[in-house]
Amino acid sequence: MGQRTPLYDLHLALGAKMVDFGGWDMPLHYGSQVEEHHQVRRDCGVFDVSHMTVIDVTGPQAKEWLQHLLANDVGRLHGCGHALYSAMLNERGGVVDDMIVYRTETGYRLVVNAATRDQDMAWMQAQLGEYQAQLRERPELAMLAIQGPQARHKIAELVTQSRGALIHQLKPFEGQADGDWFIARTGYTGEDGLEIVLPADQAPGFFNDLVGAGISPIGLGARDTLRLEAGMNLYGQDIHQDVSPLAANMAWSIAWEPAERNFIGRAALEAEQAAGVQFKLVGLVLEERGVLRAHQVVRIANVGEGEITSGSFSPTLSKSIALARVPKATADRAEVEIRGKWYPVRVVKPTFVRHGKTLI
């Protein structure tokens, strides 16, 4: 038996198919995974993401420590509520984990992946050294993601007046507290929406309110196809400790300035750049029948080979799509080996759908 979120019994009552995900018993779907996907793209749906790890960082040197720990620079967070996406790197420049960091009134809030919780906590504690900063994990909190073009409008109608006003005021990549709730305009689907951190004992009632208001519960299956269409990396597949952000379409999340900020992994990234980055993360589109899956070989004529890191059928595009790490010289055509046969694929920018619009 895996770990369970505060919503476990509700998932069962709603008919969810439960699966193990990073040691947690989580809903894969509640019926039709494809319909759940479409529901988020066209309207909105609610995900239980209470398995994610919430960590608050405080102390007089919290900022300095995070500037050392992360490839992005929390010095860019000029006001309370501002957020950024960053990777936490090892000395080789590999991704220990990726996360969202929010600036709060008392310091910073990190939201990191569930499956990497133990390695993340151990790594962060090991990097504290002499920094005057404290880490506080928040297992007493739950987290819901309400995603889709109608998400903010519908949620604002269901919460208190002050929370509704906050939802309307939030800009993308902002998060603010209202009482014991923390409401952020972030997500993992490529759609507008919210992620709400709230006390665990309040989560079942709020989840019930959402479902009662006609907001569909959405499982991990649709969450994966939504993030894949949006070109968002999944830790353990598209990124891991042996892959640098330069080879994972994450160069934009590295803050090179100020030059004197010596974040962990900086020297390795600079050496990789100087030598010439060998691989890049691209999108693939299969125009024929078939399904692209992780670890399938990608062959590029006169260039070399790569590998699919994530692949699936895209409900929005009605085609199979994938993210793949391929040689830097790869152009717009390649082939993928599926069950011993080679299929032509189109190479595109690794974002297929964003805000309901097809980008390929």
Residue 353's pLDDT band, with cuts at 50, 70 and 90, is very high
The pLDDT of residue 65 is above 90: yes
pLDDT band (50, 70, 90) for residue 270: very high
pLDDT digits (tens, 9 = 90+) for 75-133: 999 999 999 999 999 999 999 999 999 999 999 999 999 989 999 999 999 999 999 99
284: left (phi over 0), alpha (psi -120 to 50) or beta: beta
pLDDT at 1 over 80: no
> Which residues have C-beta within 8 Å of that of residue 255, sequence separation ≥ 6?
71, 72, 73, 76, 261
Residue 66 pLDDT class (50, 70, 90 cuts)? very high
Name residue 163's beta-bridge partners. none
pLDDT tops 90 at residue 250: yes
C-alpha to C-alpha distance for 302 and 32, rounded to whole angstroms: 42
Q: Does residue 284 carry a pLDDT above 80?
A: yes
The pLDDT, as a whole number, for residue 167 is 98
Given a cut of 80, whether residue 219 has pLDDT beyond it is yes
Q: Could you tell me which residues are annotated as the binding site?
A: 195
CB-CB neighbours of 258 under 10 Å = 9
pLDDT of residue 198: 98
Q: 1-231: which CATH number, 3.40.50.460, 3.40.630.30, 3.30.1360.120, 3.40.50.150? A: 3.30.1360.120
| Predicted confidence band of residue 11 (pLDDT cuts 50, 70, 90) | very high
Q: What integer pLDDT is reported at residue 2 of this predicted model?
A: 85
Please give the CATH number for the structural domain made up of 245-358: 2.40.30.110
* pLDDT score at 97: 98
pLDDT value at position 266?
A: 98
The pLDDT tens digits of the residues spanning 297-348 come to 999 999 999 999 999 999 999 999 999 999 999 999 999 999 999 999 999 9
Give the residue extent of every domain in the chain: 1-231, 245-358
CB-CB contact of 52 with 42 (8 Å): no
Q: Quote the pLDDT of residue 41.
A: 98
- Please name the residues in contact with 55: beta carbons below 8 A apart, sequence gap of 6 or more: 109, 110, 111, 112, 121, 124, 135, 136, 137, 138
Task: Write out the binding residues for substrate.
Answer: 195
Domain 1-231 shares a fold with domain 245-358: no
Q: Report the DSSP beta bridge partners of residue 342.
A: 337
SS3 160: coil
Mean pLDDT of the region 167-175: 97
Q: Determine the Cα–Cα distance for residues 15 and 129; give it in Å rounded to an integer.
A: 48
Each residue's pLDDT tens digit, 252-261: 999 999 999 9
